[in-house]
């Protein structure tokens, strides 16, 4: 047994019937290298079973504490019913990008069952060109982006995996209620003992901010209230999904010419696309939007569970009409946010989260999820996560693409997540049914914006074709 951190538990408490806190990980797999050998859902279950010994979070089961006296715990070794967790799915013809995206939206529209380990995988058949896809649905409380990338790498044939006997996994007994309460009481005492150190950490961060010579621009000065937008409303439970792929080399070379990092480019592309969408849906784009951008403070390649990041608020310059000036402002906003993040202390929010009262926080977010829909903290979530640099295999078949997207948060109907994989920069967009007519409007706007940035920078509009990417 081990207790969820306060930050992990927070990602449970923020869940509501219309706010699902799972992430989606999608691997597109080419079967043409298998020759005459078939690879079906039962074969995939066998492959996954043989790797469960190194995919520890897939064997975690959530255990609530009586009376919500403390954050829940993980029972670390429980039975895993692969017939339940690994499910078949077939997309409609012709099995292209849109058909797969539609299936992923449907998969993402239902919450995970908390009485079981908090993950599901869907073995998706019917894709064009002899491909399949594996869609992983993993609760955010289980792993953040960095941990998920490491977990995904372990699940692929980056190294040979020894075969394991189907009955070789020991199952831990479930704890009694009295054991859970005693453990919670003991941990509360430890938390009290850690308070002086946390107070010092907080005071040191506040002192660094006050001594800093850097002054935030007026649009970032607190209090900053996110402006009302088409993406902020009471969410519907249904989800819609869209993807697009850019060549990583194109993004790198464009960013290098403009003095921008890959993350800066993701923010600039997103800003331009959101400006276009605001003009379409609202007829104006006259205020910066406020995005929560996760910044990890633990990049260990061995970490495969837990959340070690802070959501850093960043102003997106959607009100800037000039393309190259938008890139500069997005880069400056990212730089300022990173500086403030490190000054105040990267772990500040995560550490204080340990002291949140579970019942009160759950009740608060239930109310927020069906309130007036105007999020008073942020407009949307944007993530940029470096994925595996080596091409992986599953059961000997080549993984050609990987996509990932985080959840929608209360009253924020758009999430943009970018994952790099080998030579690709893969864009994923998640929305509900009310935010946009079609989430592919967002991916199309992002592709147009990248071309416009290159045109404005004097670069040829021709983009590198990713041959392995779905059409």
Which residues, in sequence order, are CB contacts of 154 under 8 Å at separation 6+? 51, 54, 55, 304
Query: Catalytic one among 20, 71, 140, 233?
Result: 140
Distance CA 305, CA 427 (A): 23
- Let me know how many helices (H) and strands (E) the chain has, helices first: 12, 15
Distance CA 428, CA 402 (A): 10
**Please, what is the end-to-end C-alpha distance for the chain in angstroms?**
45
Which residues, in sequence order, are CB contacts of 398 under 8 Å at separation 6+? 29, 30, 33, 391, 392
Q: Tokens standing for 236?
A: 């519907």
What string of H, E and C letters represents the secondary structure of 84-136? HHEEEEECCCCCCHHHHHHHHHHHCCCCCCCCCCCEEEEEEECCHHHEEEEEE
Nearest to 373 by CA among 432, 291, 442, 318: 432
The DSSP code for 342 is H
Count how many Cα atoms sit within 13 Å of the Cα of residue 452 in the half-sphere of its side chain.
20
Verify whether residue 140 is a known catalytic residue: yes
Render the burial of 264-301: b for 16+ CB within 10 Å, e for the rest. bbbbbbbbbbbbbbbeebeeebebbbbbbbbbbeeeee
Distance CA 150, CA 404 (A): 13
Count how many Cα atoms sit within 13 Å of the Cα of residue 349 in the half-sphere of its side chain.
19
Q: Tokens standing for 188?
A: 């509360």
Residues acting as catalytic residues: 140
């Amino acid at each position: 047994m081990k207790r969820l951190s306060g930050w992990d538990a927070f990602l449970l408490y923020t869940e509501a019937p219309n706010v699902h806190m799972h992430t989606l990980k999608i691997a597109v797999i080419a079967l043409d290298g298998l020759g005459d050998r078939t690879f079906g859902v039962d074969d995939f279950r066998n492959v996954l079973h043989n790797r469960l010994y190194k995919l520890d979070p897939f064997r975690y089961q959530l255990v609530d504490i009586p009376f919500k006296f403390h954050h829940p715990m993980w029972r670390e070794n429980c039975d895993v019913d692969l017939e339940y967790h690994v499910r078949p799915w077939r997309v409609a013809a012709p099995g292209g990008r849109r058909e797969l995206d539609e299936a992923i939206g449907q998969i993402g529209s239902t919450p995970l069952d908390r009485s079981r380990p908090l993950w599901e995988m869907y073995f998706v058949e019917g894709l064009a060109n002899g491909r399949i896809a594996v869609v992983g649905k993993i609760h955010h409380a289980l792993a953040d982006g960095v941990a998920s990338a490491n977990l995904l790498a372990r699940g692929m044939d980056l190294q040979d995996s020894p075969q394991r006997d189907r009955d070789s996994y020991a199952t831990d007994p479930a704890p009694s209620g009295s054991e859970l309460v005693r453990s919670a009481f003991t941990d509360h005492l430890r938390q009290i003992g850690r308070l002086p150190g946390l107070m010092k950490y907080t005071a040191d961060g506040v002192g660094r901010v006050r001594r800093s010579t850097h002054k935030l621009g007026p649009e970032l000065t607190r209090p900053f209230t996110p402006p009302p937008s088409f993406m902020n409303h009471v969410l519907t439970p249904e989800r819609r999904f869209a993807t697009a792929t850019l060549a990583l080399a194109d993004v790198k070379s464009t960013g290098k010419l403009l003095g921008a990092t890959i993350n800066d480019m993701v923010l600039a592309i997103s800003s331009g696309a959101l400006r276009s969408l605001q003009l379409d849906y609202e007829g104006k784009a006259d205020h910066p939007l406020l995005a929560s951008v996760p910044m990890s403070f633990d990049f260990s390649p061995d970490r495969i569970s837990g959340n070690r990041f802070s959501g850093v608020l960043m102003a997106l310059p959607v009100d800037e009409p000039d393309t190259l000036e938008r890139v500069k402002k997005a880069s400056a906003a990212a730089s300022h946010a990173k500086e403030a993040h490190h000054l105040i202390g990267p772990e500040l929010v995560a550490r204080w989260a340990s002291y949140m009262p579970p019942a009160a926080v759950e009740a608060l977010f239930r109310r927020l999820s069906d309130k007036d829909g105007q999020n008073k903290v942020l407009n949307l979530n944007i993530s940029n996560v470096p994925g595996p640099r080596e091409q992986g295999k599953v059961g000997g078949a080549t993984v050609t693409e990987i996509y990932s997207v985080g959840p929608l948060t209360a009253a924020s109907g758009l999430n943009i997540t970018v994952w790099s994989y080998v030579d690709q920069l893969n864009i994923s967009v998640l929305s509900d049914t009310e935010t946009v007519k079609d989430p592919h409007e967002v991916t199309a706007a992002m592709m147009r914006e990248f071309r416009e940035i290159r045109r404005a920078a004097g670069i040829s509009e021709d983009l590198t074709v990713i041959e392995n990417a779905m059409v």
